[in-house]
Amino acid sequence: MATTETNGATGSYVASYHDTADRRLTRANIVLRRRMENGVGVWEAEIAGHVVSAPGGPVQVPDEIAHALLAPLRGADLVQIARMRTSHEDEQEALHDTLEPSGAPGKRASALEQVRAYLGEQLSEIERNDPVVRLDRDVEALHDLRVAVRRSRAVLRAARDLFEPEWLDRLRDELKWLGGELGPARDLDVMLEHLREEREAIGIDAAPVVKRIERERRSARKRAIGALDSERYLALLDELRVAVDHPPVRAVDVRLDRIAGKTFRKLEREIAGLGDSPSDSALHRTRIRAKRARYAAELALPVTGKPAERFVQASKRFQDIVGEHQDAIVAEERIRAYAESADAAFGAGRLVERQRARRARARAAMPKAWKRLRRRGRQAWS
C-alpha cells in the first residue's frame, strides 16, 4: 500500500531515476525514483514536497503511483534517465541539469511561436498540479490547475485568427467542460477557507454551517477527480500537446499588442456601461472581461514589455476586488440556505451579516482599482 510523507526522502542513497523520453516528469518538477530499502525495491514519486511510495519490481510502476502520475505520463513509456548516489536536496537540480534549455521566445518571435510557448507553460502547470490535486494535500493546486485551464481557453480565444476554426472551437469547448467540472470544488475551497477565518473572528459557533459545506466539498471533489480520471480529460491533454507542438494553423502572425489593446477596450466599454449602481451579475461579467484582458496582456508581454507588465499587475488587483465581491455573494446565498436549520440559524445569521459587509467593502474599493487599471491600460495600448 502506498504511503505519503510530507518531508521527502532524507539522507544519501543510490537510486535509479525514471521519466519519459521527452522528460515530462522533470519538466513538471516531479521526481520518480526506485531504490532498495532493506533488500526490497521501493518506488517513490516526489510531488510538490509530498512523497508517495510503494514497493515494486524494476519493470512496472506500482498502481498507486501510476494513478498519481496519470496526467503527465498519459500512457507514455518510462525510461531510466539516471542512476546516481544523491540526496533529497540536490536530486532536482541534478535532473534539471540534464534538460536541454528551452528558453522563452524573444521579441522577434512570431505570434504563433508566442502562443505555442504560452500554451506550453499552461500545459506544464496542469501536469504539475494534477498529481497534487489527486493527493489532496494542497487546495491551491486545484486553483492553479483551474487557472491554467482558464488561461489556455482565453488565449486561444484571443489568438483565434491563427488557428483553424473547427479545431479551435472544439478545444475551447473541452477546456470549458474541464473548468466546469473543477469549478464547484474550487469555489467551495475558497468559501471554506473564508468561513473558517470568519468563525474565528466572530467567536461564535458557526460549525454547523462549515460542516455542511465540508460535506458539499467532498462531493464536489469526487466530481473533480472523476473528470481527471476520465478518458475525455486525457484526450484533452493530448490535444493541448498538439496545440503546443503542431497546431492546425491558418496564419503565422498577428499583432499580439493589438489583440491585447482590443481586449482592454472591450473591458473599458463594459465598465463604462455599468452606471453608478451596477448589478451583481454585471460586476461578475466585468470580472470575466478583466481576466480576458489580463491574459491577452500576458501573451503580449514579450512585445509590449513594461507597460503590459504594469497592466497585468493592476489587473490582478482589480480582479481580486471584484472576485471578493462575487465570493461574498456566493457565500451569502449558500449560508442563507442553511439559516432555517435550528442548529445553524444564529451562526448563519451572523455570517450573512459579515458577507454583506464584505460586499460593501469590495464595491467601495472598485473605483480606485479600476481607475488605476484604466490608466495602465491606456499607457500600454494607446
Q: Which of 189, 74, 69 is nearest to 131 (CA)?
A: 69
Q: Which of 373, 151, 118 is nearest to 267 (CA)?
A: 373
**pTM score of the predicted model:** 0.86
Query: Mind listing the pLDDT tens digit of every residue in the chain (382 residues)?
Result: 344 444 445 556 788 999 999 899 988 889 999 988 788 889 999 988 888 999 999 889 999 999 999 999 999 999 999 888 766 556 666 666 666 655 567 667 889 999 999 999 999 999 999 999 999 888 899 999 999 999 999 999 999 999 999 999 999 999 999 999 999 999 999 988 888 887 777 666 667 778 888 899 999 999 999 999 999 999 999 999 999 999 999 987 889 999 999 999 999 999 999 988 899 999 999 999 999 999 999 999 988 999 999 999 999 999 999 999 999 999 888 888 776 654 556 567 778 888 899 999 999 999 999 999 999 999 998 8
Q: Are 116 and 50 in contact (CB under 8 A)?
A: no
Task: In whole angstroms, give the CA distance from residue 30 to residue 7.
Answer: 14
State the CB neighbour count (10 A cutoff) for residue 337: 13
The one-letter code for the residue type at 250 is: R
User: What value, to the nearest 5°, has the Cα angle with vertex 81 and ends 5 and 40?
Assistant: 50
**Three cell numbers written together for 243:** 496545440
Q: Are 78 and 62 in contact (CB under 8 A)?
A: no
